[in-house]
Structure formats: structure tokens, C-alpha cells
């Protein structure tokens, strides 16, 4: 992705606008996830999502982004990220990651969820749950850490400690800053590294998005130029939220409750913007 070198720090009023975008996005993802049923095409999910944004007066930041043709990414089974909605009809036992974004008055939000279709496979449920839990631990590290690199350390440490078959953390695709553009500096790694990144301070807004796989982390891009798949054909999961650091603490802009419930489980208290 094309990212700026400077970190864009936001005022409280700008973060409030991003919160508007995040709430619309959350509602649109709610509807798209609810529509992800056996017999429904991925194009239909895109239509549902786009309709919610249009009704709310928001626009999609995915549609037309470097030529991307839809309002969401729909990545099914071994597709990791950037899947293009189309004629594929969801089957019983599929797993799908739905990734979308919304723009309100020039300010962006970005979020993704993974859902099982029909009768879930236990190994897929575990994959999605661990990915989501890893995301929340990364968000908690944003609240308690000193540097952006602390997020990746928290995600990596959690995933590495999970009991059972090991899960791989993709390193080629990472989180990012967000604000007046969907993708900005800094990169938000999902793995432990010696690179600390910028210091965490008020005005920093990040999209935290771990992507985990059941097998190897090697990926390839399909001929459509977008869809990223695992080379070994094993399944993948993506979870993502847009999170802001402000003077009072952190607030998850793309979660209806600001992240209060899940972060409380980790001993972190969120700070509403109002």
C-alpha cells in the first residue's frame, strides 16, 4: 500500500468525525455479516453493505481505491485478504472475512470480521476466535504501551502461547495509520520485532488488523491482481478495528461500544470522546 512517511495526528473533533464513520461502518458490517448465509453470493454481501453506507450518507473508501471494483473485500476460505465480491455462492462450512471502510466528511474508518457460514468447522471457529482475541490484545497494548511496536509484540505473544495446533501470523500484510486517507503511516506490525515504531501519543489513529492462517504464511496474489491466497490452501482469518488515542485514553471507533466490553476483560478501560 502507498503510505505517507509522516504520522498524521488528529484533534478531538477530527476523531469524533472518524467515530461517525466508524459507527456507520459497524452497522454496515453487522448487516453484511447477517447476510452471509448459505446460497448468498459475495456480490450480494457487497450490495447490502453499500446500501447501508448510502442510506447513512457515507461513502466507501474501498470502491475505486487503486481500481478496486467493490465496496468490501470478501475473502473466502484460503483467501486471506482483498478478495473481490462476485458470483461465488457461499457454501455450508465456508469461512469468510468481510473487510470494509466508510468515509464521512473526508475522514476514514476501516474494519473487518470473520464469520463461518452454515455449520461451522471447529478448526475454523478456533482460527477466527484466536484472530479476534489477538486483535483485542493488540488494541489493549495500544492503551498500555509506549510504542506502536508494542502492538505487534502483544499479538505475537498471545498467538504463540495459544494451546493446540500452531497458527501462522502473516507478515506481508499489516495494519496501518488511518485518517484523511485509509492507509497512512505508521505500519502496525502483527508480530514481534526490534523495531519500536513511533511513540504512542494523543491524536494517533490506527487500524489494527491481525491475519492468521492454519498453515504456512506464504501467500500469492491471484490473476485478478487483488485476491491474496495461502499457497498451501489452508484457511485464513482477518479481524480489524479502527482505534483512536486521545487525551482521555483510547476509543475503538469502529465498535458500537467503543471496545468497552472486550477491553474490560483485559483490564483496560476505554475513554469515550464525550
Integer Cα distance of 195 and 67 in angstroms: 32
269 is in an annotated binding site: no
Write out the H or E segment, with its range, that includes residue 104: strand 95-104
pLDDT band (50, 70, 90) for residue 5: low
pLDDT digits (tens, 9 = 90+) for 150-185: 999 999 999 999 999 999 999 999 999 999 999 999
pLDDT digits (tens, 9 = 90+) for 45-78: 999 999 999 999 999 999 999 999 999 999 999 9
Assess contact for 100 and 72: CB atoms under 8 A. yes
pLDDT at position 3: 43
pLDDT at 1 over 80: no
> What is the residue whose three cell numbers read 491482481?
225
User: Going by DSSP bridges, is the β-strand pair 228-230/184-188 parallel, antiparallel, or unpaired?
Assistant: unpaired
Q: What domains, with CATH codes, occur in the chain?
A: 12-264 (3.90.230.10)
Rounded mean pLDDT of 143-156? 97
Rounded mean pLDDT of 66-93? 98
DSSP per-residue codes, 63-124: TTGGG--SSEEEEETTEEE-PPP-SPBP-TT-EEEEEEEEEETTEEEEEEEEEE-SS--HHH
pLDDT band (50, 70, 90) for residue 4: very low
Strand order in the sheet with 236-238: 168-169, 211-213, 236-238
Percent of the chain scoring above 90 in pLDDT: 96
108 is in an annotated binding site: no
Integer Cα distance of 41 and 90 in angstroms: 6
pLDDT digits (tens, 9 = 90+) for 179-234: 999 999 999 999 999 889 999 999 999 999 999 999 999 999 999 999 999 999 99
Q: Is 205 helix (H, G, I), strand (E, B) or coil?
A: strand
Percent of the chain scoring above 70 in pLDDT: 98
92 is in an annotated binding site: no
Integer Cα distance of 191 and 247 in angstroms: 27
pLDDT band (50, 70, 90) for residue 274: confident
Would you tell me how many other CB atoms lie within 10 Å of the CB of residue 35?
A: 15
110 is in an annotated binding site: yes
55 is in an annotated binding site: no
Amino acid at each position: 500500500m502507498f503510505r505517507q512517511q509522516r504520522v498524521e495526528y488528529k484533534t478531538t473533533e477530527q476523531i469524533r468525525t472518524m467515530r461517525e464513520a466508524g459507527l456507520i461502518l459497524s452497522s454496515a458490517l453487522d448487516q453484511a455479516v447477517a447476510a452471509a448465509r448459505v446460497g448468498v453470493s459475495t456480490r450480494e454481501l457487497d450490495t447490502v453493505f453499500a446500501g447501508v453506507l448510502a442510506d447513512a450518507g457515507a461513502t466507501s473508501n474501498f470502491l475505486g481505491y487503486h481500481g478496486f471494483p467493490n465496496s468490501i473485500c470478501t475473502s473466502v476460505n484460503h483467501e486471506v485478504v482483498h478478495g473481490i465480491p462476485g458470483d461465488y455462492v457461499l457454501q455450508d462450512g465456508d469461512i469468510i472475512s468481510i473487510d470494509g471502510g466508510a468515509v464521512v466528511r473526508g475522514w476514514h474508518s476501516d474494519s473487518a470480521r470473520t464469520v463461518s457460514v452454515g455449520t461451522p468447522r471447529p478448526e475454523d471457529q478456533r482460527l477466527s476466535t484466536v484472530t479476534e482475541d489477538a486483535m483485542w490484545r493488540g488494541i489493549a497494548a495500544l492503551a498500555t504501551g509506549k510504542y506502536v511496536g508494542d502492538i505487534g509484540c502483544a499479538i505475537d505473544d498471545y498467538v504463540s502461547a495459544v494451546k493446540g495446533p500452531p497458527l501462522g501470523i502473516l507478515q506481508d500484510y499489516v495494519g496501518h495509520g488511518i485518517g484523511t486517507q485509509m492507509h497512512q503511516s505508521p505500519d502496525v506490525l502483527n508480530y514481534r520485532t526490534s523495531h519500536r515504531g513511533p511513540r504512542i501519543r494523543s491524536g494517533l489513529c490506527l487500524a489494527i488488523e491481525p491475519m492468521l492462517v492454519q498453515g504456512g504464511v506464504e501467500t500469492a496474489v491471484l490473476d485478478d491482481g487483488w485476491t491474496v491466497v495461502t499457497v498451501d490452501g489452508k484457511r485464513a482469518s482477518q479481524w480489524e478495528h479502527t482505534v483512536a488515542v486521545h487525551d482521555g485514553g483510547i476509543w475503538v471507533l469502529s465498535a458500537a461500544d467503543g471496545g468497552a466490553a472486550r477491553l474490560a476483560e483485559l483490564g483496560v478501560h476505554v475513554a469515550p470522546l464525550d
